[in-house]
């Protein structure tokens, strides 16, 4: 299981905070998908967070400090890929904006921006020809479009096209798939009642499809929705789409009791 | 109206538990959103129109002094008068002065958000005048003594039953329960007011520099009666509403109705130019325009200039999931939803409305439907940045961010803490989830926390690959 260093592009995997802490399986799924798509994958140990919590809280200095760290850790790769539209939109869109007045860092931020991709858009749009999905999933899934990926990076068709190649999986669209689930980073703990109302609307639309599985591309949203689904004892499994595409969705879903072994 | 944006949290929680409000909001939300989507689907050049409208507005804002001067010349040439108001108080004084001079007893009003912004009604009433809102929605909330909760559908928070009660109390019985009956009753009551009105006050959706005209759009025709039947017509408008030519105005008219109510066009689009001329069949004897700055030229000079493109369609709030959850009153001032969350702090002060820019998930849906492409999420984030710089952000939050930054810029420490958290959280988890967590009530009061599996990804990766 070693990466071939010669063949394809060198990809640095951006290990998002939530993935690293809560769902390592998503990271291993991303690595498998990238390697299957002909890439060699490395995971720099000098990475932490993309800086979005600082940026969205108005602390631009903190965001810049984190951005510089990410740029230094990843700029020598051919591509930077992460399993989150939210973090990757920060790198793609916000880094150049953060350094707009900094002639030293702006070119580096822009260069990194150009080669940074969310996992699904990288697989479908950049490595399209090299990607074959070899996975089975027995179930009916519905897909939540996370806002940053959808509106920031134009991710809409890619996950559906990739899921179409998964044996046994049926996709059933929900009403308002494009409406925010109420996560919003720190929003969900700063305004918990509003967030709860929003996630309840989302849960209602999920349940109305009759799907047994919820999929999405951002762990923040998925943890929020899974947390609410489990709180009301709704029997819907929640996975990151990468887990299904990689064939690694045979264990417990988010917030489900662990199975004996995988 | 007294700003109450500092009560946003309390008011939003109250709103979420108000069953009538939730019924009304649910219905309205889906109506507007669905109809707009249909209109957009039916107009292939819609996206192109948005881009053109954005560019045209930017051109006007870049040359605002020029177009306002031209507009004033044209108004004067057509026999009208232009008054310049630096702030709300000046605007009130000017309008009150005109009303007093003509001895006004009854003042009718078409819908005007600027008049709400400058607290006009209270000022007129305090001076002994009868003020009658003629837009049906505005009329309803005037009876209820409430401010509007939406900029184009001011009574959207009211259910039909609540309107029946209000009308019965105001007009006497028998209580009407059907919508057509209620509309007829309002029409009958209002008809008499139009003819008695001394002064009619309207807003101005667009001001045309070329002709000195003001344009209003309504679905009820109330604005037309307000401005043609009174002896004096006063237009209240923000300085940013000017467009160069009539032709330019049509670009915005094509976008406005589709974005606002999902109509191809509003029922009435009325262009007024000056007072009644000798051979006109009707019209006011005097025509005044009160141009209100109230913070706008400050916006023009700074990083919030994009906000001045706003044409007040309300699409942002119709598509905002936060507005959809809490309604307009929670925002605590005249303008609710995303556009209001930008405008309120800019007009009333950053510290008077701390929560408004923060109570947003930055999901971007508002920007994606805005007919003039205002980057609302960016502006909201920029307001957070100003709050942070000016120490309006709560101390605890700033301190937490400082600690986060300190740790996150030390990768080894950060990873060690993540490993610790992964172990601790998985240790207290039951069946893959955590139901209650000290200091995390914001999350666990309404949601379970999915549990980590015990090891972080980086830890497992390094174990597997022996790689840095």
* Claim to verify: residue B128 and residue B271 sit in the same structural domain: yes
Say if residue A4's pLDDT is above 60.
no
pLDDT category at A129 given cuts 50, 70, 90 is confident
Domain assignment of residue B420, yes or no: yes
Q: Does B446 touch chain A (CB under 8 A)?
A: yes
Mean pLDDT of chain A: 95
Given B275, B297, B319, which residue is the final one in a domain?
A: B297
Whether B170 contacts B81, CB under 8 Å: no
Say if residue B191's pLDDT is above 60.
yes
Tell me which residue in B361, B401, B433 faces A182 most closely, judged by beta carbons: B361
Residue A25: predicted pLDDT: 98
Domain assignment of residue B245, yes or no: yes
Whether B363 contacts A188, CB under 8 Å: no
- Cα separation, A200 vs B275, in Å, equals 54
> What are the boundaries of each domain within chain A?
10-126, 133-245
Residue A260: predicted pLDDT: 63
Whether B153 contacts B28, CB under 8 Å: yes
- Does the domain at residues A133-245 carry the CATH identifier 3.10.450.50? no
E strand or H helix at B317: helix B315-318
- Cα separation, B366 vs B33, in Å, equals 12
B457 to A20: CB separation less than 8 angstroms, yes or no: yes
A237-240 and B106-109 as β-strands: parallel, antiparallel, unpaired? unpaired
Q: How many domains does chain B have?
A: 2
Say if residue A261's pLDDT is above 60.
no
Please give the share of chain B, as a percent, with pLDDT higher than 70: 99
- Reported for B194-197, long-range contacts at CB under 8 A and 24+ positions apart, including other chains, are B194/B108, B194/B134, B194/B225, B194/B226, B194/B229, B194/B230, B195/B229, B196/B105, B196/B106, B197/B106, B197/B107, B197/B108, B197/B132, B197/B226, B197/B229, B197/B230, B197/B231
Domain assignment of residue B310, yes or no: no
Segments in B172-295 forming alpha helices (H): 179-196, 222-229, 246-260
pLDDT 10s digits, A161-191:
999 999 999 999 999 999 999 999 999 999 9
pLDDT 10s digits, B333-365:
999 999 999 999 999 999 999 999 999 999 999
Say if residue A155's pLDDT is above 50.
yes
**In the β-sheet with B213-218, what is the strand arrangement from edge to edge?**
B242-243, B206-208, B213-218, B268-272
Whether B98 contacts B232, CB under 8 Å: yes
pLDDT 10s digits, A12-37:
999 999 999 999 999 999 999 999 99
Domain assignment of residue B55, yes or no: no
Say if residue A111's pLDDT is above 50.
yes
Residue A262: predicted pLDDT: 43
- Cα separation, B327 vs B16, in Å, equals 9
Task: Pick the closest to residue A16 from A119, A95, A96 (CA basis).
Answer: A119
Q: How many CB pairs below 8 A link A and B?
A: 211
Count of alpha carbons within 13 angstroms of residue B422, beta-carbon side: 23
Whether A215 contacts A145, CB under 8 Å: no
* Claim to verify: residue B285 and residue B428 sit in the same structural domain: no
To the nearest 10 degrees (0 to 180), the angle between helices A60-74 and B395-408 is 20
φ and ψ at A175, to 5 degrees? -65, 140
Q: Does B125 touch chain A (CB under 8 A)?
A: no
- Cα separation, A48 vs A67, in Å, equals 10
- Cα separation, B219 vs B136, in Å, equals 10
Lowest mean pLDDT among A248-262, B50-64, B415-429, B443-457: A248-262
Domain assignment of residue B58, yes or no: no
Give the CATH number for residue B178: 3.40.50.10420
Residue B332: predicted pLDDT: 97
Residue B446: predicted pLDDT: 94
Q: Which residue of chain A has the CA closest to B386?
A: A58
Tell me which residue in A21, A62, A230 faces B433 most closely, judged by beta carbons: A230
Whether B222 contacts B134, CB under 8 Å: yes
pLDDT 10s digits, A61-98:
999 999 999 999 999 999 999 999 999 999 999 999 99
pLDDT category at B135 given cuts 50, 70, 90 is very high
* Claim to verify: residue B158 and residue B290 sit in the same structural domain: yes
B361 to A180: CB separation less than 8 angstroms, yes or no: yes
Q: What residues form DSSP beta bridges with B233?
A: B200, B287
Cα Dmax for chain B = 92
To the nearest 10 degrees (0 to 180), the angle between helices B376-389 and B337-348 is 30
pLDDT category at A6 given cuts 50, 70, 90 is low
pLDDT 10s digits, A226-244:
999 999 999 999 999 999 9
* Claim to verify: residue B243 and residue B107 sit in the same structural domain: yes
* Claim to verify: residue B110 and residue B257 sit in the same structural domain: yes
Residue A124: predicted pLDDT: 96
B384 to A58: CB separation less than 8 angstroms, yes or no: yes
A192 to B445: CB separation less than 8 angstroms, yes or no: yes
Whether A106 contacts A13, CB under 8 Å: no
Say if residue A130's pLDDT is above 90.
no
Task: Pick the closest to residue B353 from B342, B362, B364 (CA basis).
Answer: B342
Segments in A102-240 forming alpha helices (H): 106-114, 119-121, 147, 153, 157-163, 187-190, 192-209, 219-231
- Global pTM value: 0.96
Lowest mean pLDDT among A123-132, A167-176, B385-394, B453-462: A123-132
User: Residue B467: helix, strand or coil by DSSP?
Assistant: coil
Given B297, B314, B330, which residue is the final one in a domain?
A: B297
Residue A131: predicted pLDDT: 86
φ and ψ at B203, to 5 degrees? -85, -165
User: Which chain B residues are within 8 Å of A2, Cβ to Cβ?
Assistant: 465
Residue A76: predicted pLDDT: 98
**Mean pLDDT across B204-230:** 96
Domain that holds residue B235: 65-297
The shortest C-alpha distance from B309 to chain A (Å) reads 21
- Cα separation, B115 vs B111, in Å, equals 8
Whether A131 contacts A94, CB under 8 Å: no
Residue B140: predicted pLDDT: 97
Domain assignment of residue B157, yes or no: yes
Say if residue B124's pLDDT is above 70.
yes
A136-144 and A10-13 as β-strands: parallel, antiparallel, unpaired? unpaired
User: Which chain B residues are within 8 Å of A179, Cβ to Cβ?
Assistant: 321, 363, 365
A151 to B367: CB separation less than 8 angstroms, yes or no: yes
User: Which chain A residues are within 8 Å of B370, Cβ to Cβ?
Assistant: none
Phi-psi region of B214 (alpha: psi -120 to 50; beta: other; left: phi over 0): beta
Task: Pick the closest to residue B99 from B125, B119, B134 (CA basis).
Answer: B125
Domain assignment of residue B429, yes or no: yes
- Cα separation, B98 vs B176, in Å, equals 38
Say if residue B29's pLDDT is above 90.
no
Given B297, B315, B348, which residue is the final one in a domain?
A: B297
Q: How far is CA B241 from CA B50, B77, B226, B235, in A?
A: 17, 20, 20, 12
- Cα separation, A258 vs A244, in Å, equals 17
Residue A132: predicted pLDDT: 87
Residues 6+ apart with CB under 8 A from B431: A256, A257
User: Residue A42: helix, strand or coil by DSSP?
Assistant: strand
Domain assignment of residue B322, yes or no: no
Say if residue B394's pLDDT is above 90.
yes
A227 to B443: CB separation less than 8 angstroms, yes or no: yes
Q: Does B417 touch chain A (CB under 8 A)?
A: no
Handedness of CA B388, B390, B394, B400 (dihedral sign): positive
pLDDT 10s digits, B257-297:
999 999 999 999 999 999 999 999 999 999 999 999 999 99
B448 to A231: CB separation less than 8 angstroms, yes or no: yes
Say if residue A2's pLDDT is above 50.
no
């Amino acid at each position: 299981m070693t990466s071939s260093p010669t063949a394809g592009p060198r990809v640095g995997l951006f290990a998002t905070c939530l993935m690293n802490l809560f769902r390592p399986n998503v990271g291993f799924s991303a690595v498998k998908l990238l390697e299957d798509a002909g890439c060699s994958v490395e995971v720099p140990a000098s990475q932490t967070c993309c800086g979005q919590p600082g940026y969205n809280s108005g602390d631009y200095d903190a965001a810049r400090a984190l951005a510089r760290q990410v740029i230094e850790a990843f700029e020598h790769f051919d591509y930077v890929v992460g399993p989150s539209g939210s973090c990757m939109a920060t790198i793609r869109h916000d880094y150049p904006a953060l350094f707009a007045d900094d002639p030293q860092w702006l070119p580096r931020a822009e260069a990194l921006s150009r080669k940074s991709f969310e996992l699904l858009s990288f697989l479908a749009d950049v490595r399209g020809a090299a990607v074959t999905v070899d996975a089975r999933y027995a179930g009916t899934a519905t897909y939540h479009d996370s806002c940053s990926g959808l509106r920031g990076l134009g991710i809409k068709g890619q996950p559906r096209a990739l899921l179409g190649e998964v044996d046994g999986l049926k996709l059933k669209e929900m009403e308002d798939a494009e409406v925010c689930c109420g996560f919003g980073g720190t929003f969900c703990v700063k305004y918990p009642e509003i967030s709860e109302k929003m996630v309840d609307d989302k849960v209602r639309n999920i349940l109305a499809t009759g799907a047994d599985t919820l999929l999405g591309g951002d762990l923040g949203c998925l943890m929020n929705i899974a947390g609410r689904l489990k709180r009301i004892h709704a029997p819907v499994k929640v996975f990151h789409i990468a887990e299904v595409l990689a064939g690694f969705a045979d264990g417990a879903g988010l917030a489900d009791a662990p199975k004996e072994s995988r | 109206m007294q700003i109450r944006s500092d009560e946003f949290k309390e008011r939003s929680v109250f709103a979420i538990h108000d069953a009538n409000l939730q019924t009304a909001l649910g219905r309205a939300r889906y109506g507007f959103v669905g109809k707009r989507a249909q209109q957009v689907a039916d107009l292939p050049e819609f996206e192109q129109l948005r881009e053109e409208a954005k560019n045209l507005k930017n051109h006007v804002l870049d040359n605002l002094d020029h177009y306002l001067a031209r507009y004033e010349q044209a108004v004067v040439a057509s026999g009208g008068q232009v008054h310049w108001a630096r702030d709300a108080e000046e605007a009130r004084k000017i309008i009150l002065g005109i009303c007093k001079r003509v001895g006004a007893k009854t003042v009718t009003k078409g819908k005007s958000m600027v008049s709400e912004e400058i607290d006009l009604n209270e000022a007129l009433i305090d001076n002994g005048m009868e003020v009658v809102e003629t837009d049906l929605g505005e009329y309803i909330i005037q009876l209820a003594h409430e401010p509007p909760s939406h900029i184009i559908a001011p009574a959207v928070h009211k259910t039909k039953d609540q309107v029946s009660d209000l009308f019965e109390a105001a007009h006497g019985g028998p209580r009407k329960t059907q919508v057509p009956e209620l509309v007829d009753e309002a029409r009958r009551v209002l008809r008499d007011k139009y003819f008695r009105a001394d002064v009619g006050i309207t807003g101005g959706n667009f001001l045309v520099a070329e002709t000195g005209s003001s344009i209003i759009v309504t679905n009820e025709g109330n604005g037309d009666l307000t401005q043609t039947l009174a002896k004096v017509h006063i237009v209240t408008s923000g300085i940013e509403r000017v467009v160069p030519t009539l032709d330019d105005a049509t670009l915005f008219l094509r976008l406005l109705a589709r974005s606002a109510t999902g109509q191809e066009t509003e029922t009435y689009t009325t262009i007024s130019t000056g007072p009644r001329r000798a051979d006109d069949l009707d019209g006011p004897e005097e025509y005044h325009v009160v141009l209100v700055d109230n913070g706008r030229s400050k916006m023009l000079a700074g990083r919030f200039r994009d906000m001045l493109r706003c044409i007040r369609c309300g699409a942002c709030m119709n598509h905002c999931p936060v507005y959809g959850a809490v309604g307009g009153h929670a925002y605590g001032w005249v303008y609710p939803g995303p556009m209001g969350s930008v405008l309120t702090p800019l007009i009333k002060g950053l510290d008077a409305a701390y929560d408004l820019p923060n109570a947003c998930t930055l999901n971007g849906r508002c920007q994606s439907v805005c007919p003039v492409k205002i980057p609302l999420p960016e502006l909201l984030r920029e307001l957070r940045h100003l709050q942070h710089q000016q120490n309006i952000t709560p101390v605890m939050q700033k301190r937490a961010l400082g600690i986060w930054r300190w740790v996150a810029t030390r990768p080894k420490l950060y990873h060690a803490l993540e490993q610790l958290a992964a172990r601790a959280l998985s240790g207290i988890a039951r069946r893959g989830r955590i139901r209650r967590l000290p200091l995390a009530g914001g999350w666990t009061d309404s949601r379970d926390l999915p549990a980590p599996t015990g090891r972080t990804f980086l830890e497992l990766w390094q174990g597997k690959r022996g790689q840095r």
